[in-house]
Each structure stands twice: as structure tokens, then as C-alpha cells.
Amino acid sequence: MSSLKYWLWLATRKGIGVQGMHTVLERFGTPEQAFFADPEEYDLLPSALAAGLKDRSMVQAEQVLADCDRLGIRIMTLQDADYPARLRQLDDAPCVLYLKGKLPDLDEEVCVGVVGTRQASEYGKTVAGRLGLELARGGAVVVSGIASGIDTCAVRGTLQAGGRAVCVLGGGIDVPYPWENRFLYEDVAATGLLISEYPPGTENLGSHFPVRNRIISGLSLGVVVVEAREYGSGAIITANLALEQNRDVFAVPGNVDAPHSRGCIRLIQQGAKPVLSAEEILEEYRDRYPVRLVKMPPMAPEEQRQRLEHVQVSETPFRQKAPVDKGKDKEYSVLKRRADSFTDDELAIIHAMGDKSCQPDELVERTQIPTRRVLSALTMLQIAGCVEEKPGKRFISTVQLEKE
């Protein structure tokens, strides 16, 4: 734990980033040695790195440690023995990872990335769900990003088969995105793994997603693109990263007139293997991983249809919505909870809200709790169904605290 705080110190320095961390490690060996180095040595590095290293405050590192401990998130660094070798070989391997769930030996698994557009067609959603279902039945681990559209359907298909999914996030593990996938986050963490290189409380910024794609492809033996635009698509970025990392690339053919099929068609023209089923992917790896992969008999069409029925619904089938109490003109569920079932931050936020809707900034002012902790607590309260978000990013409590 003592060395871990120095990794977090380095990871939270302003202006350093992943490549900067690697530069620092090459120069000093470890984050701890960098921390205790003579400041004059920093001047031998690029100015942005030097400026970041001269800030030796441990406040952020200690906050991240506390958040991870509270949320049950494991922190993994490049120095850990079980850090995936497939990732370690990347030039821009993430130096710090945040994990929630069950960590298998990913280097021994047949990990297949399934990616595609958020604006998926009904055809694309069905294919993604079927691929997730069939890959999981065959023994593969599905790696995806849990974004809307193709990612979500692939992950749900995987879970419908009782399989394992590894989802790489573009924000903190405690900040579900999109919000409607918050229960899907829980289900993945219960059976598979959530991974992020961003600490708890980090918002899902658009700039984070292209960066996280290298982890999806890096963990995978191969990546299959289901639907994607020809240009500017995150899925195409992932496919190109896979090629750079010497991974296999597969693509699902689609209608030549459909905009979200053009990316797959272009990948096939460039050498990606066209696939019509998960079996065509699994057969590429069966000889190398005979123990991991099994050849399952085809699922009966009716059973497959029933399982895939749940893949495209707006709410994940593994959770049910709470009943709505419309008494007193309320449009949300009223839950009774004991005060001791909440953390101090959560309880302070519930009290600060009262029966009024509040924006996060208002809650920060009323509670004097730092913004990151307020956002993290709001997320956990939303997951528990104790807070609902209203238009204008306003939040309202659905909790009635029980008297002791």
C-alpha cells in the first residue's frame, strides 16, 4: 500500500498523462523514486512533466485511495504480477487500472472484443446480441465498452448465456454511462469485470473513449466490428488499434446502402475477415485454446429468440424497476431506509436535498463536501434507487429515513 500511493501521486499529476508516466518511469525507475528525487533532476525532463512532478501534494492520491476503499474498487499497477501481459506489451500501456469484479487470468482466456456504433440498427443489435450469446456459450470472454447500441447488446447477450464480460470504461467505475446501463454495470461486476484507467468520480468525457479503445483491443485476441460509420467511428478506431497491436480484426457484413455498414465493408476490403457467426471467430482460436473453447451444439431457434428478446430492451433484464408511488403527486418511488445504511456523504446529501430538487453545485455548497465526492455519492444513491435525476441535471431524494 505504501508504494501504491506513489503510483496514484504520479497518475494524478497535472499535464503528465500515460506517455509522460512512462517517460518518468524510464528516467527514475519507480514513482516512489521519482517522488523523492532532487527537484533539479526534473528539469532534465520536458517542462510539462517537470512542472507536474514538482507538485508533491498527496491529497488527490489519498482521496483516490479512500474512494476505492469505500467503493470496493481494486487498484492495479504495472508492477503487479497479475497485470495482463497483453496490455503490458503496449507502448502506451495504462500504468494504473481501477477494477471491480472478478479478475480472471485474462492472458489465458480467449478474449474477443465486440464493438460498434451507438446508433445501431435493429439488425446490428440482433447480431451483436447473438455474437455475445454464442461467444460466451463457446467459452470466450467478451470484451466491450458497455456504451449504448452494439456494446450494450453484446454484453447483454453474453450475460444471457451465463458468460463473462469485461467492460472497459471511459470514466470512473462509479459513474455509469449511459445512465440507463447502471444496472448492467452491476451485473457485469457480479460475474465479470469493469476496468477503467480513470479514478472514481471521473466523468465520461468524449476525449476518454478513443483513449480507452486501446485497452479493449489490447486485452483481446481479436476484435469484431458489428456496425460502424466509415469515418470518425470509435469502432473503426478500435479496429485500427487492433491492427497496430497485431490483433485479428473481424467485421460483420451489412447492407451496402446503410451508413453504419460502410465501416465494416471498408474493413473487409482492407483485409478484415468477414464473419456471419461467432463460430467463425471461435474456430480461429480453438486449436490454440482447446481447453478454454468448446464446440456447443446450435441453440434451438426458439430458445435463442427468447434469450435475445431481452437484449434490446431499455432496461437490463436482470433488474426490475421499483414500483411507483404516485401519492401526493410524486412521480417517483418512496423508499424507507435506515440512516445507518448510508455513508456519511450520502446521508449529508439526502439531508441537504430535503424534499427539493438540487443541482450538484448546490449540494457542494450546502454540504461543503468536495465536488468529486458529491458526484460519486449521487451516483451510488442513484444506483440504489434513492435519488432520481430530473431535467436540468437536478436531483431529488426518493428516500424517507426511518426513525430509530
- Output the tens digit of pLDDT for each of the chain's 404 residues: 568 999 999 999 988 989 999 999 999 999 999 999 998 999 989 988 999 999 999 999 999 999 999 999 999 999 999 999 999 999 999 999 999 999 889 999 999 999 999 999 999 999 999 999 999 999 999 999 999 999 999 999 999 999 999 999 999 999 999 888 999 999 999 999 999 999 999 999 888 998 999 999 999 999 999 999 987 788 999 999 999 999 999 999 998 888 889 999 999 999 999 999 999 999 999 999 999 998 877 777 777 777 777 676 544 444 433 333 333 333 434 455 667 677 888 888 988 988 888 988 889 888 888 887 888 788 777 766 788 877 777 888 887 776 54
Q: Return the C-alpha cell found at 109.
A: 482466456
Beta bridge pairs of residue 250: 224, 273
* CA 199 distance to own-chain centroid: 12
- 315/306 Cα distance (integer angstroms): 16
* CA 205 distance to own-chain centroid: 13
Residue 75's Cβ-count burial label (10 Å; 0-12, 13-18, 19+) is buried
* CA 203 distance to own-chain centroid: 12
The string over 185-206, giving b where at least 16 C-beta atoms fall within 10 Å of a residue's C-beta and e elsewhere, is: bbbbbeebbbbbbbbbbbebee
- 129/160 Cα distance (integer angstroms): 9
Q: Return the C-alpha cell found at 13.
A: 499529476
How far lies 87's CA from each of 74, 96, 218, 293, in Å?
Answer: 17, 11, 5, 22
- Exposure on the CB side of residue 88, measured as CA atoms within 13 A: 12
The pTM is what?
0.77
Handedness of CA 138, 215, 247, 145 (dihedral sign): positive
pLDDT for residue 313? 52
DSSP H helix total and E strand total for the chain: 18, 13
Report angle CA 211, 213, 218 to the nearest 5 degrees. Answer: 115
**C-beta separation of 117 from 229 below 8 A:** yes
- 203/168 Cα distance (integer angstroms): 14
3-class state of residue 66 by DSSP: helix
